[in-house]
Chains A and B, each alone.
Chain A
């Protein structure tokens, strides 16, 4: 069955960087688009970024554009989120989610359990 395991979260100071990983198994990773979605404490879900199956197409929420980079290594079945210039408002649980199919216009259907990122001095 589809399994997504996020890692890399933790406490980081404002302005610093962090890279999240999402290890995928149970499906052919290289044929699916992937999303990152976050949830600040006590708040709703916020879509962050999406990446096509081949890494060629990517889109970001305005709130993270220019600071975050989504990427993937299909040989390692792993999705990444490089987060730079972190701010307090980036504090959230970050979920990776598999899309229904290969393109960035496909909705999230399978979710990981999330990893917590806390931005604080």
Chain B
């Protein structure tokens, strides 16, 4: 049972380079999220998606783009990486909220990105 899988786990980029983080989930969840986690701060939402073909901005969307072409995949792109984007990135997925669902998030293992 894979759950939520992120690739790559680690990456070092130079300023100005681009890259894509891939998130895949096998739980048939509608909702998917990209967070970043920095020391001393709570998880901050970058972008999220409430279903295939939809995306929305979160708290800190600048410098990032996302796509949700397939229900099971959620891609996070950095077009021109900056040192301020050095962080640990977590993908998560959840059922939609409702009487039967808590909306509990299932997280991937994280992707540690360093921008030099």
Q: Say whether A and B bind each other.
A: no
Query: Which B residues are closer than 8 A to A by beta carbons?
Result: none
Query: Which A residues are closer than 8 A to B by beta carbons?
Result: none
